[in-house]
Structure 1
Amino acid sequence: MNELQGFSHKRLRVGVDVGGTNTDSVLIDLAYPSEPDKAILAWHKTPTTPDPSDGIKTALSSLLKSTTRKSDIVSVAIGTTHFINAVVERDANRLSRVAVLRLGYPYSKHMRPCSDWPDGLRRLVLGHHALLRGGLQVDGSPIGDIEPAEIRAECTLIKQKGIHTVVINGIFSPLDSAENQEQLVSEIVRQELPGCDVVLSSEVANLGFIERENAAILNAAILRYARQTLHMAVGPESVGRRLTEDAIIFGGAVLTATDCAVSADPNLAIGSPDVLAARLNLSPEEIYNFQQAVKSKLEQAIDSMKTSPEDLPVLLVGGGAILAPSKLKGASEVLRPPWSGIVNAIGAAMAGLSIVVDTIKTIGTKTEQQWLEDIKKAAIRKVVHAGALRSSVQIVELETLPMSYVENKARFIVRAAGDFNYNAPSLEVAVDGMDDANDLVNLADDTKTSRYELKLGAGDFSNATAEETGDLRSYKPKVQDRVWYLSETDIAWIATGCNILGSGGGGYPFPTAMRLRQMIRNGDVIRVVDSHDVDDNAIVGGACFGGAPNVFSERLPADELLEAQNELMRLYQDPITHLNCLEVGGANGMQSFVVGSSSNLDLPTVDGDYCGRAYPVLWQTTPYVYGDRQPVYLPMALSDGNGASVIVSQAKSDKVVERLLRAALSELGSLAGVAVAPASGAEYKRWAIRNTISQSWRIGRAVHLARLLNGLDTMTESIIDECGGTDAAKVLWRGKIVSVKRTLRKAHLYGECVIEGEGGDSFNGHVVIPFKNENIAAIKTSPRNEPTESIALDSEELQGEVLAVVPDLVAVLDAEDGEDIGTQDYRYGQRVSVIGIAASEQWTSTEEGIRIGGPEGFDMGYLKYKPFGKYSAPKSVINEYNIS
């Protein structure tokens, strides 16, 4: 029996979409989902009004006048754009104040909710926040136990503030756990605050603490307004709503894409071609350029959505479909189906359900394939429980990501999707009563990665000084008496530079940048000094994090770094005088700023590091090239920031130190603050690659200015200029990622990424980038017909022209924003630019440097290091901008 049979009533759905030009509504009969002419009973199109709520009411009332079966309507669905615009407009009448309860004390204590939001929006939405005990470690064990009395006390404060919406966000809450802490807390909250709405972050988005919390808060903030709209709204200004007034083809004065389309094809029955001909005379070349621009943008959009290289059918829908050509690269065929003009309204009416299970499992108790089967079943159960028709459910996304620095663990992401089950007995309650806060609307776009999307440009800082929000081209850092006092702008630029110098590894520095920004706003002073100004007798300490980037994105720091430094200093009679960031690439490039801030140790960071990039293991640092000490970094202290610390006082070799470090990290939640044995000023100046913080600042400046000035096309050239010009750096490749393979070995993420060239004279063929946490090389090779079972790091199978190889840097940059993409986040379809930067002479001038930092240090001894350029020493910001 067909599952749609048995519907004697309540089988009609209404969909509404608010577009820039028109508001569309449609009435659909579920009995004929595959027969558009029968399924669509009525539709209505009305101009979008200045207040979209008015247009929605007009569209709905007109639509319902066309049917006598109002009692058969099972649901009304409105596209989320209507609600998102409430956020865009920051309308207090449409946004609820939200209380946020975090579970995971003491982690995240230095970064409050909504830290990366504009100040006005944060003040409007965030009414209360608290950090409570609870949360999970990466292995699912509790960071701390839930304390009901603590929760009840916060509920009293929430009630006093008149807040009726609560978000609960626990560290690693999306992991399957015997004790669902978010659910336990929600039960207490509902007892203490009857009738309040509770949104659980684990039901909204994936792993990635900040992204998940932001999505949950946005869902909570628009929940009340969404209910009001459904129970009877306001986008950015655009020509779309005034197309019939402003477009030249309708007698206006604004050149629009519609004008260009009619110029290219006068047969289009839009507006008045005579008016267009009289007022606009586009040459054949201009029309051709317009068509090519549209074609190129559509082809890029197609590529970004595909999950494999094969050509696929493309459906063109919406008013803009008239602009598209009949053939597109990447499309097996281009189709314009019937009813395409109201497709968004149809989509709203026909929208199904999807559920993502994002979890971490131990490989060994079960095989990877066994875990996948279990997780697929769990995803199917969850989406059916949420209201999907069981027979319609499919697994639409499946991904396994080995976790570096976490022994025998992998992250699994599985998405199940299906149609609504309209026979479900709880459906009417979910639609009409909206008892479950998450049944109504979900603004979260469940990301595939934990990458921080925050772009810390000075223009994003609503509290920045006038100097910083002015013309960034004329911005000058504050350097006085040879001390560099970092501003928010400096932090933003250094973060992007550190990310690029990470060469795909080291973790993303943006959470640390957000913390530093808040510290500066709170009055903290962060100083940098030049290595030439460091006395030989100075004592230079080292601060960094050790552990897994995936853990760092979820378990935001507490005071691990400071506690580790204090533990180590108990062993020394003389205090340290300066700090060193150890590796400038990735998240560790900025950790010494946190420890050295005026509210902590009040020490300057020296402009330099021991890597000039990021490397996967401790012994791949410049002190080992010189061999002055063995082991270099002992004694060493580690702290988890939650009451546990470890001292490693002695070991026979550096390889033993590495093993001890990894074992300790496993017991400390796979992430810990690390303090290493300090160096004398003389040792530091002998070992360090100088001015690498300055180099990060200059690279970041190039990227941020390119964004500001719409110069992304020439951004890579700007980065090259900042790294010493074309003799020291170059663009190695441009194209899109077409294949990624990964595996985990001895706690390190190994793999390779294949990038198809964009064409032209320079970038034909494919480039393979092997990686071990960081990128190892860029090798031009012919495409493989069939993927091999083993990754090419295993053997000399990887043949071709070596464009660059370690210790030289290979960075894969996102073509859309210029940020470096971490190796854990490589995905099919990403458009990228690959740049190479010549390594410091500390690595390349001796055989020992090349052995430690070159291919042999990555178990790829069959590749031989050959420099692609000549190193150019970074220019000191302090020397350039100092005012005595």
Structure 2
Amino acid sequence: MTTYRIGIDVGGTNTDAVILNENYKVIAETKSPTMEDVSEGIYMAMRDVINKANIPLDKIKFAMLGTTHVTNAIVERKKLNRIAVIRIGAPATLAVKPFVGTPLDLKGILGNFVYLVRGGHEFDGREITKIDENHLYRIANEIKGHIDSIAITSVFSPVSNAHELRAREIMNEVLGEDIPVSLSSEIGSVGLLERENATILNASVVKIARTTINGFVNALEKEGIKNARVYLGQNDGTLMSVEYALKYPILTIACGPTNSLRGASYLTGEANSIVVDVGGTTTDVGVLVSSFPRESSLAVEIGGVRTNFRMPDLVSVGLGGGTIIRINEENSFKIGPDSVGYELPQKSLVFGGDTLTATDVVVALGKANLGDPSKVQFLDKEVMSRIYAKMVEMVEMAIDQMKTSAEPVPVILVGGGSILVPDKLEGASKVVKPNNFGVANAIGSAIAQVSGQIDKIFSLDRLGRQKTIEYAKKLALQEAIDAGAEEDTCSIVDLEDIPLSYLPGNATRITVKAAGNLRINMTE
């Protein structure tokens, strides 16, 4: 039986959509401007690609969305939940309070209900002190009716989450099941403050995630797609179910660039290479390792907040199709970093506008043919050539930053703005621009697998190294299955084992990621 899947990815300039058949062949693709109201751009792209595909709508069985809603909410400080922040760790963690280092404007929005509770664990799972349940009951009654969600963080909860689970039980008992509770052990890795920050951000965006998901589902039904299972892209290049996304909306951050990496791998068959994704606003450069994005080993800042949950290792450069070029009287120039973004079709010179953009530069030099080339013939070719050389140098420097050796590596060009980049680059053994390169991000969303990951500290004295690693693998596989992966197709795609010599008990930090294909038959 022929079935189809629709993939949509929201970028800063364009919202891309594709429809694939069961063999992952592209049936239709489209690009629509990303609107100020992001949902409106999604609806337009969906409507257009459905009209182009001309297929029975009841045969569309999967719908995948990569969205910037959550990222925008944090960066713009809009539509965030009223939250309560509970840290379980007194008396051991009183020296540094929650929200240390958080920008004051964000702290002003989120930091009204902050509590420190006795409890927590040591690195090896031993209790620091018993959890103060009476305090938790008092907190629950105090915040009742004043908050939308709760962030709970306990010391070393990636090792033992017993106190976080008990705190959630108490919150649910007093406040009911409708108030979402985010647990740090399910979001971040070891490192109290960064994990706490990630949990706070997760709790703050539950409402916007629910609105986005409901809007996407309603848009599908409005277009007559009523039988599709809905998934959201997450920042490791895999998918998560609606239920999973509602619990962990923070994991949708950076799903756009990772969708592009996964799409680039699928379109070229390259499993290990550098991907250059050129959009309308930025160029994102990432690394494929075994067909998945290489993860960052550093703490990542989101909206000025330092966090430590898994994020792709990316370099972003302020260069895209809509990047504004400024030339002064001496013919020196400045490239970006600002962009006309989704207004490129109105503001760029080749489209009749009055703003010189990177797109105008490549058209003026005859390296691309779009819009009306006669509108840029007056531009000084020598100056345009110098600007273009600098644009190429910006991309080559970003590639160089991502390489782990001086050896040339394969480079894949994707994104609608990749017309800006030549087919030969310094440091590249080859430059590949596949078919459907302009919608690689939407394709990456549509073909993505489902994953699960664990990142915990284990004491090898208990089970020994091999048995501990096997146990960690089982936990990761179960995470993937819980997220919607087909058990028979699940496999371990990444494993890292780091001995922690500064801790007693033969302690080791083990990170395991498992991934598998979407489960076809699932009970509703």
TM-score (norm 1): 0.42
Label 1:403 to 1:267 Cα distance change in 2 as closer, same or farther (>3 A). closer
1:192/1:218 Cα in 2 relative to 1: closer, same or farther (>3 Å)? same
Task: Map 1:841-856 to 2 at 5 A.
Answer: none
Shift of 1:64: 4.1
What's the CA shift for 1:312? 4.9
CA distance in 2, matches of 1:331, 1:395: 30
Equivalent AA in structure 2 for residue 85 of structure 1: N
Larger-gyration structure (1/2): 1
1:79 maps to which residue? 66
Total equivalences in the alignment: 403
Alignment of 1:217-616 (within 5 A): 217-232=200-215, 238-264=339-365, 266-283=366-383, 286-287=386-387, 289-300=389-400, 302-303=402-403, 312-328=409-425, 331-423=428-520, 425-426=522-523, 428=524
Cα offset for 1:268? 1.4
2:104 & 2:505 partners in 1: Cα distance?
Answer: 42
Deviations 1:449-508 (A, max 9, x none): xxxxxxxxxxxxxxxxxxxxxxxxxxxxxxxxxxxxxxxxxxxxxxxxxxxxxxxxxxxx
Q: CA deviation at 1:286?
A: 0.9
1:584-634 per-position Cα deviation (integer Å, ceiling 9, x unaligned) = xxxxxxxxxxxxxxxxxxxxxxxxxxxxxxxxxxxxxxxxxxxxxxxxxxx
Assess, with a 3 A threshold, how the Cα gap between structure 1 residues 166 and 350 changes in structure 2: closer, same or farther: farther
Q: Relative to structure 1, is the Cα distance of residues 389 and 59 closer, same or farther in structure 2, using a 3 angstrom cutoff?
A: same
Separation of aligned partners in 2, 1:424 and 1:190: 31
For 2:142, the equivalent position in structure 1 comes to 157
Residue equivalent to 1:23: 15
Q: Which residue of 1 aligns with 2:77?
A: 90
* Alignment CA distance shift 1:288-1:100 (3 Å): closer
Contact map agreement 1:358 1:411 (CA 8 A) in 2:
no
Change (3 A) 1:129 1:72: farther
Q: Which runs of 5+ in 2 are unaligned?
A: 217-280, 282-336
Query: What is the match of residue 126 of structure 2?
Result: 141
Q: Is the 8 A contact 1:388 1:418 kept in 2?
A: yes
State how far apart, in whole Å, the 2-side matches of 1:250 and 1:238 are.
Answer: 15
Q: Is the 8 A contact 1:25 1:45 kept in 2?
A: yes
SS of the aligned residue for 1:59 comes to helix
1:408-444 alpha-carbon deviations (Å, 9 max, x no partner) = 5343232323244333535x4xxxxxxxxxxxxxxxx
Q: Distance in 2 between matches of 1:123 and 1:74?
A: 43
Change (3 A) 1:108 1:407: closer
Cα 1:359–1:102, aligned 2, differ >3 Å: closer, same or farther? same
Helix, strand or coil for the counterpart of 1:136?
A: coil
AA of the residue aligned to 1:337: P
Q: State how far apart, in whole Å, the 2-side matches of 1:408 and 1:196 are.
A: 39
CA pair 237-326 structure 1, distance change in 2 beyond 3 A: closer
Deviation at 1:318, TM superposition (A): 0.7
Return the structure number with greater relative CO, CA threshold 8 A, min gap 6: 2
The structural deviation recorded for 1:16 is: 2.1
CA distance in 2, matches of 1:327, 1:417: 36
- C-alpha displacement of 1:284: 7.6
Q: Is the 8 A contact 2:6 2:446 kept in 1?
A: yes
2-structure distance, mates of 1:333, 1:372: 38
Work out whether residues 400 and 411 of structure 1, in 8 Å CA contact, stay in contact via their aligned partners in 2.
Answer: yes
Which runs of 4 or more aligned residues in structure 1 lie more than 6 Å from their structure 2 counterparts after TM superposition? none
* Letter matched to residue 398 of structure 1: L
- Please, which runs of 5 or more residues in structure 1 have no aligned partner? 1-7, 429-884
Query: Which of 10, 23, 27 is the equivalent residue of 1:32?
Result: 23
Check 1:301–1:79 CA distance in 2 against 1; reply closer, same or farther (3 A cut): farther
How is 1:52-63 mapped onto 2 (pairs within 5 angstroms)?
52-63=38-49
Q: Which residue of 2 aligns with 1:180?
A: 162
SS in 1 for 2:143: helix
From 103, 121, 125, the counterpart of 1:118? 103
Letter in 2 for 1:51: D
* Structure 1 segment 853-872 matched on structure 2, within 5 A: none
AA paired with 1:26?
V
Cα distance in 2 for residues equivalent to 1:19 and 1:56: 10
Query: 2:154 matched to 1:170?
Result: yes
**Equivalent residue in structure 2 for 1:14, among 6, 23, 27:** 6
* TM-score, length of structure 2 as denominator length: 0.69
Question: For 2:345, what is the secondary structure of its paired residue?
Answer: helix
Residues 354, 415 of structure 1: 8 Å contact kept: no
CA distance in 2, matches of 1:261, 1:128: 53
Whether the aligned pair in 2 keeps the contact of 1:167 and 1:220 (CA below 8 Å) is yes
Deviation at 1:275, TM superposition (A): 1.9
Distance 1:183 1:311 in 2: 49
CA contact (8 A) 1:206 1:356 kept: no
The superposition leaves residues 824-857 of structure 1 with CA deviations (integer Å, 9 ceiling, x where unpaired) of xxxxxxxxxxxxxxxxxxxxxxxxxxxxxxxxxx
Structure 2 distance, partners of 1:59, 1:414, is 38
Following superposition, the deviation at residue 137 of structure 1 comes to 0.6
Contact 1:372–1:412, Cα closer than 8 Å, also in 2: no
When residues 70 and 101 of structure 1 are mapped into structure 2, their CA distance, relative to the original with a 3 A threshold, is: farther
Say which SS state the counterpart of residue 346 (structure 1) adopts.
Answer: helix
- Paired with 2:131 and 2:65, the residues of 1 have a C-alpha distance of 38
Between the aligned partners of 1:72 and 1:165, the Cα distance in structure 2 is 37
CA-CA distance at 1:134 after TM superposition: 2.2
Q: What RMSD, in angstroms, separates the aligned Cα atoms of the two structures?
A: 3.0
1:192-241 C-alpha deviation (Å, 9 max, x unpaired): 211111111111121122222222222222222222222229x9973122
- Compute the displacement of 1:327 (Å): 3.6
CA distance in 1, matches of 2:389, 2:406: 27
In structure 2, which of residues 163, 167, 181 is the aligned counterpart of residue 198 of structure 1? 181
Q: Deviations over 1:137-174 (max 9, x none)?
A: 1111111222333222111112142x131111111111
Decide whether aligned partners of structure 1 residues 255 and 223 sit closer, same or farther in structure 2, where only a CA change above 3 A counts. Answer: same
Offset at residue 288 of structure 1 (A): 6.0
Displacement of 1:47 in angstroms is 1.7
For 2:395 and 2:338, locate their aligned partners in 1 and report how far apart those are by CA, in whole Å. 26
Please, which of 100, 105, 123 is the counterpart of residue 90 of structure 2? Answer: 105
Supply the distance in 1 between the matched residues of 2:163 and 2:429 (Cα, whole angstroms).
Answer: 48
2:196 to 190, 213, 238: 213
